[in-house]
């Protein structure tokens, strides 16, 4: 997230995201997460 948002917004995202994901899972919504990297060579 370098340069994408402020450090404060990044901390807020990291704090809120697990709560949101847990709420979805408790409602029976299946989450699938995929990660990728963008490396310059």
Q: Who contacts 24 (Cβ-Cβ below 8 Å, separation ≥6)? A: 31
Q: For the segment 1-41, what is each residue's pLDDT rounded down to a tens digit?
A: 467 889 999 899 999 999 999 999 999 999 888 888 777 76
Rounded Cα–Cα distance for residues 27 and 14 (Å): 21
State the pLDDT at residue 41. 63
State the pLDDT at residue 38. 76
State the pLDDT at residue 1. 47
């Amino acid at each position: 997230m370098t340069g994408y948002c402020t450090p404060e917004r990044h901390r807020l995202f990291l704090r809120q995201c697990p709560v949101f994901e847990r709420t979805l899972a408790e409602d029976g919504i299946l989450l699938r997460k995929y990660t990728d990297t963008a490396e310059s060579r």
